[in-house]
Amino acid sequence: MNKHQHISTYFFIGIGGIGMSALARYFNAQEKKVLGYDRTSSELTQQLVNEGVEVVYSENEAVTAISQIDPSHSMVVYTPAVQTKSKLIQLANNQGFHLIKRAALLGEITSSQRTLAVAGTHGKTTTSAILAHLLKEANDGVTAFLGGILQSENSNYIHTGNDVIVVEADEFDRSFLHLHPNAAVITSTDADHLDIYKTKEALQESFELFSKQVSEALFVAEEIQLKGIKYGFTDLAEIYATNIQVKSGSYFFDFVYQDMRLQNLELKLPGKHNLSNALAALALAINYDTDKAAMYAKALSSFSGVKRRFNYLYQSPNLTLIDDYAHHPTEIKAAHQAVTEMHPDENVMVIFQPHLYSRTENFATDFALSLSNFDEICILEIYPAREAPIKGVNAQFLLDKIDHKNKKIIQKSDIFNSIEKSSCSVVIFLGAGDIGEEAQKIKKMLNS
């Protein structure tokens, strides 16, 4: 980052995004002037404002803010979700600002420091959050850019020092190819983001390219066909969990890392996928500092999770509410496995908000199969995010593919009544859009 020492002001277009806000916090902590624009106010943007970041919510205000900045000492950061024809990007271009994508900036920050990266179409956020927690608890000087809000920190940015950086390696828009980490993990390579990649093969090729950019150690889930140190649940893997037990909602297991065996570790996150994430995080941490293996293992038990990753929102004798970010068929299957493992004798209602028209269209059959495992299915309309509608692709399109007698489309205003009328004692909210906000509203209504 030495070449940007002259930069004193950073303007973020889309500052409310989870990756952008972590970078904003990084520069704000360095006492740079940080400003940004987002279309809507959120809990995250309000937190940024409370931390001293200036945030505006209209393009006109953003235009005014950018026009008042000296381009020679400023940088404008944007995400791939922002179109290059955006009025703000055009303005920044015309006024001679240094324009840079979020991923490229992250690549520059990490280029001169020891970096541990977590890649994969599922599990990135939880794995990187566990890793950051382990390093922090073992008193390592860690800077972490996370794709979710760590429960214990109420932040997606951790800074206890500059010895090592933890970062999510995001495959969207091939962003992770800006990174050259010392060590990394690949948790999964299931097809996703086909609006960008078009084919599964192109996505796989991108992961292959990323794997070759890792300079020291690459850990790979055992089912993935990439070269690396394999981890998983069989002794065919070099790193694996054994003696796995579930007690009082926690996993207890032994961790085997080549010739090392750590016994009776505890993980308080439900779901076999999270146990796999914990193995990956432990592998990266121990590879970073083998002498602290026992400290990392002990720290695992105090990891309290990431917001919107299988969070219990409400529990009473008759009703349990759970909120989870799952927005891909594989993630929905994992959420179902977790909820049935934790609540084996109860009926479960799923309230699902599809995320993106293209993802819904590309994986409609798989969505239908994964959702059909639940006892009652409620579908909200598709959350479009960055996309324009695709003709014929909507909630009804998905519902028609689900072979289940207890299914329906509901509006957000119908959620509370649907829960009240249901015979299910467990309700799980799934999706990557604004369904988490709806879940919080239901929690407040039940508590009141």
Residue numbers of the domain that contains 296: 113-302
Pick the last residue of a domain from 247, 273, 302.
302
| Torsion, CA 69, CA 70, CA 75, CA 76, rounded to 10 | 40
- Residue 4: pLDDT over 80: no
**107 lies in a domain?**
no
Closest CA to 70 of 7, 127, 24: 7
Number of domains in the chain: 3
Statement to judge: residues 240 and 334 lie in one domain? no
Q: Which residues contact 180 (CB under 8 A, 6 or more apart)?
A: 107, 110, 111, 115, 213, 214, 215
Query: How does pLDDT run across 73-82, given as a tens digit for each residue?
Result: 999 999 877 7
Closest CA to 147 of 178, 168, 174, 176: 168
pLDDT of residue 1: 54
CATH of the domain at 79: 3.40.50.720
Least confident stretch, 98-107, 171-180, 187-196, 225-234: 187-196
- Residue 68: pLDDT over 60: yes
Helix (H, G, I), strand (E, B) or coil at 226: coil
pLDDT of residue 29: 95
What integer is the mean pLDDT of 289-316?
95
pTM: 0.86
**106 lies in a domain?**
no
Statement to judge: residues 70 and 121 lie in one domain? no
Q: Rounded to a whole number, what is the distance in angstroms from the first to the last CA of the chain?
A: 50
Work out the angle at residue 415's Cα, subtended by the Cα atoms of residues 412 and 418, and round it to the nearest 5 degrees. Answer: 145
Instruction: Specify whether the CB–CB gap between 279 and 247 falls below 8 A.
Output: no
In the numeric block, the tokens 């799934």 are attached to 430
pLDDT of residue 194: 56
Statement to judge: residues 188 and 270 lie in one domain? yes
What integer is the mean pLDDT of 251-261?
94
Statement to judge: residues 132 and 268 lie in one domain? yes
**232 lies in a domain?**
yes
CATH of the domain at 127: 3.40.1190.10
Mean pLDDT of the chain: 93
Instruction: Specify whether the CB–CB gap between 407 and 399 falls below 8 A.
Output: yes
